[in-house]
Structure 1
Amino acid sequence: MHADTSGPATVSESAPARPVERGLPVNWTLAAATAARLMPPGPRTTPAAAAELVDRLRTDSARAEGHVRDVTGLGHDLPLLPADVLDRPAWARAAVEGMDVLTSGAELPATARPLRTVTSAGAGVQLGTLLAYMGARVLGQYDPFGGPDRAGRLIVVAPNVHAVTTALDVDGEQFGLWVCLHEATHRLQFTAVPWLRDHFAGLVTDLLTLQEPDSTKLTRLPEAIRSLRSVEGERPDVLALVELLQGPEQRAVLDKLLALSTLLEGHADHVMDAVGPDVVPDVAVIRRRFTERRRGGGVVDRLLRALLGVEAKMRQYAVGAAFCREVEAAAGMSGLNRAWESPETLPTRAELTDAQAWLRRVG
């Protein structure tokens, strides 16, 4: 190939940008419909008992946040709002709406419309199937991106609260309030910390936008499997494999996202127990039985939980709660609240297992 020297030199034009599409290729409507179709019905109860439970959970959610504010010192100027108490299919619809909003900023390589249609339909069915499994188990959640105005939505799933209350053989009023304490803490995290919502969404967007082609990940698969086998005394999990398959940029973002989610979950678990027996007299019994239930289940159930990353999430609760306990013991709740000052004061994944290192860094 020869250079053209017949005319004045010119700056060559850069290659045209690859076309991109925003949002994940998921048929969200199909996902919600699939979840509703596959989800098992809730436990049987009388209409009067169901109505009483719904009313109580709505009241408990607002009351719980008042207790959380007293413990944490956060958000005292915010309104106390009731939760949306839903059944299982309504939770699935709400979860789909929130995921759609959360992932809408991701920029992915554009695909031909017929291929995207097929891909989104398959992804919708897969997501709906997973939601059907989770929908019979989730007790509640705070969705920072849900609700009619996308300003956030606290949800409690009434049939699941009723089912777990029965399975654990605990006081129903205390257990409902205890569940609300956890979810109300999540709501307070996102409403009392003004930068948290956008920071979380930005990390998710960055992680999805940096996704590499499957062919690139496949080249890392043999090394990833060898690394998993070489870790003695550790039970391999899906999350570990996902991390090993990431490129350097992805792994850096994933580290931040995992550290944040671990703090969020651990902080909520720590606070719900810190409220203490004055509010939930049987808190120690409830915590013990609930933790045992988290670890239990049949072989198929445990396998599904591992594949869905639920086992990894359980470890997040434990690691995050231990970090919060150690920090509060050393520096008080005001010291723990330093974590919420800015993205820079959030603990790293390494610091979550070395609270003293975080305390030294943030002063």
Structure 2
Amino acid sequence: MTSNPNNPSNDDDTPKDPLAEMLQNLMGGQGMGNIDPAELAKAAGLPNDPQLLQQMFAQVQAMMSSTSEGPVNWQLAHENARRVAAAGTDPSVNAQQTREVDEALRLAELWLDPVTDLSATGLIGRAWSRAEWVEATLGTWKRLTEPVANSIANALSNALTQQMPEEMKSMMGGASSMLQNMGGAIFGMQLGQAIGALSAEVVSSTDIGVPLADLEMALLPANVAKFGEGLSLPENDVRLFLAVREAAHARLFVQVPWLRGHLLGAIEAYARGIHIDMSRIEDLARDLDPSNPEGIQEALSQGVFTPERTPVQTAALEKLETALALVEGWVDELTAEATSKVLPSSTALRETVRRRRATGGPAEHAFSSLVGLELRPRRLREAATLWATLKEERGIAGRDAIWHHPDLLPTGEDLDDPKGFSERRRLAEASDSEVDDALQKLLSGGYETSDGDEGEASDSKDTSTEKGSGKEPETDESDPEAPTK
């Protein structure tokens, strides 16, 4: 009897699950010998792309032969990010584009010099393809997403294990490590896809307001051109405006060394505090089919594994959004100042960027749904108003001095009332000064007596005797117990 390749059977004609057959073949060391890639692609809802299928089989075999570092398979994330970035048109940057980006960033530095007290960085401007952006930023993405990614991968693995048929579990035998890493592999591929999709939207290394690449200043020419489509503005104006924004970000992160760690640390702290609602995962697991990768990926893309925020996490996210808004507001204000007299399209471009940063693109939304983390400065306009107000009150140097220490940063309350910031800071400084004066007085020995007379601890006297005077203490004659003079 000839077996049907679409419905594999064993010797007693009992139907066998296609995924079980695939795993059995792989674990038997037979590679792809007994597997029809076209049928597997059809079953998984994937395109019949032989090269892609070959890569997938290699990835599965790699999962079985070795364990990934932690629950998430970051190698798969990296490979999938590169594949998605190159899926569209991602031509290598040519010499002309490199020259245009370099000239734009150099000019941007000159325009920024009169409007900020922070000095130029001296960084060399780079022109990146989307794949180069992935390579330069993936390490930071891993750092930012690893805590929540690990939690989601573990939850997904547990859900898959619960839904896997008992016969498949027993069949897997010694390959339990692959079962444990299956959720991490699926999530790694999804995360890589989200990062790869972001590479088609960002226009620079700091476009999302966070320094994803360490000490770099770069534009993505293909995405800059895409950004300018439909604006009816000169391409050079668009490039220069975005170059000024990138150069302003670079100055801030280079000349304020603590800021990068402050932002990334705030994101990591928020991510570490996220917990997965396992009861919700258990409910969802009933609808998951381990043999249907497409259904699992759809669940991930819709955010069904996205952790719910606790009140503590909501407060942490508000602080993070305030910090992001302060960075973006400062850059927004300086870019407007630097370009207002040299770029006629400056006002229109500023509004376009503001709306884009406030709403986010499709890839940014997909990333947010996947890891439960939004990196949008919701209060950008209020922050820009605050920095403009501080410049009016304190001048450029006074405004930029706010970045000297994280304790000086404005708060969410200051964004609500920008004009009251200086008065609140003055009152706080006056209160701190009074406390410092009192502490200094206490340490030096000064104090206030109970009757209001000020005395010094070193001058206090013993009222019962006068040492070194040679006099006996006087007595009260009315006291019958007093000694006779």
- TM-score, structure 2 length as denominator? 0.54
Query: What aligned pairs does 1:96-245 form with structure 2 within 5 A after superposition?
Result: 96-102=138-144, 117-142=181-206, 144=211, 146=213, 151-215=214-278, 245=308
Measured in 2, the distance between the counterparts of 1:335 and 1:217 equals 51
Q: In 2, are the aligned partners of 1:203 and 1:257 still within 8 Å (CA)?
A: yes
Is 1:81 the equivalent of 2:110?
no
Measured in 1, the distance between the counterparts of 2:100 and 2:134 equals 22
Q: In 1, are the aligned partners of 2:403 and 2:409 still within 8 Å (CA)?
A: yes
Which residue identity lines up with residue 129 of structure 1 in the other structure? Q
Which residue identity lines up with residue 202 of structure 2 in the other structure? V
Which residue identity lines up with residue 187 of structure 2 in the other structure? A
Measured in 1, the distance between the counterparts of 2:259 and 2:364 equals 32
Which residue identity lines up with residue 423 of structure 2 in the other structure? R
Cα 1:25–1:320 shift into 2, 3 Å: farther
Counterpart of 2:7 in structure 1 is none
Q: Which runs of 5+ in 2 are unaligned?
A: 1-68, 155-175, 282-301, 427-485
Measured in 1, the distance between the counterparts of 2:364 and 2:141 equals 25
Cα 1:348–1:213 shift into 2, 3 Å: same
Which of 344, 348, 358 is the equivalent residue of 2:421?
358
Cα 1:83–1:113 shift into 2, 3 Å: farther
Shift of 1:139: 0.8
Is 1:41 the equivalent of 2:85?
no
Cα 1:216–1:64 shift into 2, 3 Å: farther
Measured in 2, the distance between the counterparts of 1:291 and 1:255 equals 19
Counterpart of 1:277 in structure 2 is 340
Q: In 1, are the aligned partners of 2:90 and 2:129 still within 8 Å (CA)?
A: no
Measured in 2, the distance between the counterparts of 1:261 and 1:268 equals 11
Give 3-state SS (helix, strand or coil) of 2:218's partner.
strand
Which residue identity lines up with residue 70 of structure 1 in the other structure? P
Is 1:65 the equivalent of 2:128?
no
Measured in 2, the distance between the counterparts of 1:203 and 1:272 equals 26
Q: In 2, are the aligned partners of 1:25 and 1:120 still within 8 Å (CA)?
A: yes
Is 1:325 the equivalent of 2:388?
yes
Q: In 2, are the aligned partners of 1:60 and 1:177 still within 8 Å (CA)?
A: yes
Cα 1:170–1:201 shift into 2, 3 Å: same
Q: In 1, are the aligned partners of 2:358 and 2:376 still within 8 Å (CA)?
A: no
CA RMSD of aligned residues (A): 4.0
Is 1:52 the equivalent of 2:96?
yes
Cα 1:145–1:310 shift into 2, 3 Å: closer
Counterpart of 1:4 in structure 2 is none
Q: Which runs of 5+ in 1 are unaligned?
A: 1-22, 219-237
CA offset digits 1:245-271 (Å, max 9, x no partner): 433543443232211111111211111
Give 3-state SS (helix, strand or coil) of 1:155's partner.
strand
Measured in 1, the distance between the counterparts of 2:373 and 2:273 equals 24
CA offset digits 1:53-80 (Å, max 9, x no partner): 221112322331343243111125xx42
Give 3-state SS (helix, strand or coil) of 1:315's partner.
coil
**Percent of pairs identical after alignment?**
25
Task: Choose 193-202 or 100-109, whichever is displaced more.
Answer: 100-109
**Higher relative contact order, structure no. (Cα contacts within 8 Å, ≥ 6 residues apart):** 1
- TM-score, structure 1 length as denominator? 0.70
Q: In 2, are the aligned partners of 1:84 and 1:154 still within 8 Å (CA)?
A: yes
Cα 1:350–1:115 shift into 2, 3 Å: farther
Which residue identity lines up with residue 196 of structure 2 in the other structure? A
Which residue identity lines up with residue 188 of structure 1 in the other structure? R
Aligned residues between the structures: 308
Q: In 2, are the aligned partners of 1:42 and 1:160 still within 8 Å (CA)?
A: no
- Look at both structures and tell me which one has the larger radius of gyration over its CA atoms: 2
Measured in 1, the distance between the counterparts of 2:312 and 2:373 equals 25
Q: In 1, are the aligned partners of 2:386 and 2:419 still within 8 Å (CA)?
A: no
Measured in 2, the distance between the counterparts of 1:61 and 1:207 equals 34
CA offset digits 1:14-58 (Å, max 9, x no partner): xxxxxxxxx9854333223223323452488xx9x9532221112
Cα 1:314–1:67 shift into 2, 3 Å: same
Give 3-state SS (helix, strand or coil) of 2:275's partner.
coil
